[in-house]
Amino acid sequence: MTRYKGKLKRNTFLQIFIGAVFFMVVMIAMPQIQAQAAGKNGVAKAADGNWYYYMENKVQTSYNGLAKYNNAWWYFKNGKLNFSYTGLCKYKDNWWYVENGKVNFDKKTLCKYNNAWWYVTGGKVNFNAKGLCKYNNAWWYISGGKVNFNVTGLCKYNGNWWYVENGKVNFDKTTLCKYNGSWWYVTSGKVDFNYTGYMAYNGSNWYIKNGKMIHQGGNKIIYLTFDDGPGPYTEELLDVLDKYGVKATFFVTNQKPKYQNMIGEAYRRGHTIALHTYSHSYSIYKSETAYYKDLKLIEDLCVAQTGEKPTIVRFPGGTSNTISRKYCKGIMSSLANSLDDHGYVYCDWNVTSGDAGGTTTESGVFNNVIKGVKGKSVSVVLQHDIKKFSVAAVDDIIEWGLANGYTFLPLTEDSPMVHHSAMN
């Protein structure tokens, strides 16, 4: 009997030992047991407090990706839910933004992955995105769904055009920036469409109008303008201009109807046709009605010759003429203020050849023009193509200008419009 008691005691210890081992095995295998008890594959919480991803009731230790649980998508690393992970994860051809282990479908941000910063919206990378995105108090340029650090240029966002430098909006920048073939004035990081004036850039003084650089020839611009034609010397003048490839501006009249066809000819050769007066009678200053009636006549003639309506005007005698006082006091101030309402801009001059006054020689015209041009960034020169000696001086004026680094341009609506003060 004693022998059997000893054997029983040893068996009891053996059973206890086996039971303990079994308990440890069960604890280690608890995630699988719980999944099996649950009767399903997928996500389940184990006794160790962690969440695991199961397939065929086994933790998939090789699984790295997303799995759905309770209407949310979770990130698993080596089969275990990783609540500390924030970043991107690829699932079914999309890259999703994971925040603290869970896909955040409301997120709009930038996220770094594989040495690139990706644009996330709606919880996933938008590879079609192009534009600006705010991140860490800075605005970044997105192209193809990621920050493009190689881009320096302009980007439109919320109605403004912003200056991007190396992929980031530079709010401290004042510069000129080229976009779509034009140069734009940037200040405080965006294009200022209200700015008109000059800006120093790359060693030159550039003229800006409404945020856009008008002159690409630097700070030495000459506009040759000719009043009172066309006349018998206009064709000769056109040939001289063609010789140098220079374009000019013609403020035309109908004083010499025989030469009306020269309006169309000048237009076809690339020059600007502008309005002066049909009659060149100062009686047009009797009233605004009289002035605009005369202006309409010359406008109609130009349209018949060119097919286009000119929009640049020069008053007979200039805005500062005093002869208009004879006809209507204050008429020049009224006309200068009303032209814009009629769809026109006006331009006077800041360099005169003197050919309408005491100068009567070719050399005199040349000397007056060169003296007036020197020291000016922009020169609007007044000549008359109905004066033979003035036309004869143009060849030398152009040669001197080109030799001294000047650029000759025709006037456009965007050009700097020289305005005299109205004296009446």
Listed in sequence order, the residues at least 6 apart from 20 whose beta carbon sits closer than 8 Å to its beta carbon are none
User: What is the rounded average pLDDT of the residues 130-147?
Assistant: 95
Q: What is the pLDDT of residue 269?
A: 95
- Examine the domain organization and report whether 336 and 377 are in the same domain: yes
Structural domain for 282, as ranges: 221-408
Which element (helix H / strand E) includes 296?
helix 288-306
Average pLDDT, the chain: 90
Average pLDDT over residues 327-337: 97
pLDDT category, 401, cuts 50, 70, 90?
A: very high
Per-residue pLDDT tens digits for 162-204: 999 999 999 999 999 999 989 999 999 999 999 987 787 876 7
Q: Are residues 105 and 251 in the same domain?
A: no
Residues 295 and 343 in one domain: yes
Q: Do the domain assignments include residue 421?
A: no
Instruction: Say what the pLDDT of residue 37 is.
Output: 38
* Distance of alpha carbon 157 from alpha carbon 114, whole angstroms: 28
Mean pLDDT, residues 289-309 taken together = 98
pLDDT value of residue 26: 43
Cβ atoms 383, 362 nearer than 8 A: no
CA torsion angle 350 352 358 360 (round to 10): 180
348-366 mean pLDDT: 97
Q: How many Å apart are CA 181 and CA 191, to the nearest integer? A: 15
Q: Residue written as tokens 């008691």?
A: 5
Residue 178 and residue 119 share a domain: no
| pLDDT above 80 (res 296) | yes
Residue 408 CA: distances (Å) to CA of 107, 158, 314, 398 = 56, 38, 19, 8
Same domain, 362 and 396: yes
Do 74 and 152 reside in the same domain of the chain? Answer: no
Report yes or no on 303 lying in a domain. Answer: yes
pLDDT at 15: 58
pLDDT at 302: 98
Q: Give the pairing type, strands 221-227 and 212-213.
A: unpaired
* Count of structural domains within the chain: 3
pLDDT at 36: 42
**Backbone region of residue 373 per phi and psi (left: phi > 0; alpha: psi in -120 to 50; beta: other values):** alpha
Residue 285 pLDDT grade (very low, low, confident, very high; cuts 50, 70, 90): very high
Closest CA to 304 of 335, 283, 343, 278: 278
C-alpha to C-alpha distance for 327 and 107, rounded to whole angstroms: 73
Both 96 and 169 in one domain: the answer is: no
pLDDT at 4: 46
Average confidence (pLDDT) over 294-301: 98
The string of pLDDT tens digits covering residues 15-70 is: 555 555 545 544 454 444 444 434 457 899 998 999 999 988 899 999 999 999 99
155 pLDDT above the threshold of 90: yes
Does 322 lie in the same domain as 253? yes
Are 249 and 274 in contact, with CB atoms under 8 Å apart? yes
Last residue of a domain, one of 68, 89, 124: 124
350 vs 202, more confident: 350
Task: Give yes or no: residues 250 and 285 share one domain.
Answer: yes
Q: Which two tokens stand for residue 117?
A: 């910063």
pLDDT > 90: what percent of the chain?
Answer: 80
Please give the residue that has the higher pLDDT: either 9 or 169: 169
**Residue 170 counted as domain residue:** yes
Which whole number is the average pLDDT over 97-114? 96
User: In this structure, are 117 and 132 located in the same domain?
Assistant: no
Last residue of a domain, one of 124, 147, 167: 124
Helix (H) and strand (E) counts in the chain: 9, 32
pTM for this entry:
0.60
Whole-angstrom Cα distance, residue 132 to residue 119? Answer: 10
pLDDT tens-place string over residues 220-248: 899 999 999 999 999 999 999 999 989 99
Q: What is the CATH number of the domain that holds 146?
A: 2.10.270
Q: Does some domain include residue 14?
A: no
282 shares its domain with 367:
yes
Tell me if 28 is assigned to some domain: no
Asked if 303 and 333 touch (Cβ cutoff 8 Å), the reply is no
Q: How far apart are CA 104 and CA 402, in angstroms?
A: 65
97 and 134 in a single domain? The answer is no
Is residue 145 one of the residues assigned to a domain? yes
Instruction: Note whether residue 27 is domain-resident.
Output: no
Evaluate if residue 388 carries a pLDDT over 70.
yes
Quick check: is 3 in a domain?
A: no
109, 124, 139 - which closes a domain: 124
Q: Is the pLDDT of residue 416 over 90?
A: no
Check pLDDT > 90 for residue 137: yes
**For residue 320, what is the domain's CATH number?**
3.20.20.370
